[in-house]
Structure 1
Amino acid sequence: MSQPPYQPSPKRSVLAPLLVIGGLVLLLALVIGTAVTVVVLRTDDKPSATGTPAVRAKPSEPKAVEFRRVLTSKPGTCATPAPDGTACDDKGMLYTLGKVELDGSHVTEVKSGHDSTNNYWYVNITLDPEGEQLFAHLTGALAKQVPPANLLAIVVHGRVVSAPSVQSEITGGQVQITGNFDQAAVEALAKQITG
Structure 2
Amino acid sequence: MTYPPLFPQQPSPKRSRGPLLLVGGLVLLLLAIVATGVVLVVRRSDDQPAVDPAPRTKPSDPTAVEFRRVLTVKAGTCPTPAPAGTTCDAKGMRYTLGKVELDGSNVTEVKTGIQQGSTTGGWYVGLTLDPEGTKLFAQLTSSLSKANPPANQLAILVRGQVVTAPSVQSAIAGGKIEISGGYTRDSAEQLAGEITG
Q: TM-score range by the shorter chain?
A: 0.5 to 0.7
Aligned to 1:91: 91
Q: Residues 136 and 81 of structure 1: is their aligned pair in 2 closer, same or farther, counting only changes over 3 Å? A: same
Partner of 1:79, secondary structure, is coil
C-alpha deviation, 1:149, in angstroms: 1.8
Q: Distance in 1 between matches of 2:156 and 2:116?
A: 26
Aligned to 1:194: 196
- Aligned pairs, how many? 141
The percentage of aligned residue pairs carrying the same residue is 64
Q: Residues 92 and 115 of structure 1: is their aligned pair in 2 closer, same or farther, counting only changes over 3 Å? A: closer
For residues 5-61 of structure 1, the C-alpha deviation after alignment (integer angstroms, 9 at most, x for no partner) is xxxxxxxxxxxxxxxxxxxxxxxxxxxxxxxxxxxxxxxxxxxxxxxxxx8611121
Q: Residues 117 and 158 of structure 1: is their aligned pair in 2 closer, same or farther, counting only changes over 3 Å? A: closer
C-alpha deviation, 1:100, in angstroms: 0.6
Aligned to 1:22: none
Q: Distance in 2 between matches of 1:178 and 1:86?
A: 22
The one-letter code of the counterpart of 2:185 is Q
Aligned to 1:147: 149
Aligned to 1:182: 184
**Which sections of structure 1, spanning at least 5 residues, go unmatched?**
1-54
Aligned to 2:175: 173
C-alpha deviation, 1:116, in angstroms: 4.9
For residues 79-158 of structure 1, what are the structure 2 equivalents within 5 Å? Answer: 79-119=79-119, 120-158=122-160
Q: TM-score, normalised by structure 2?
A: 0.64
Q: Distance in 2 between matches of 1:69 and 1:109?
A: 22
Structure with bigger gyration radius: 2
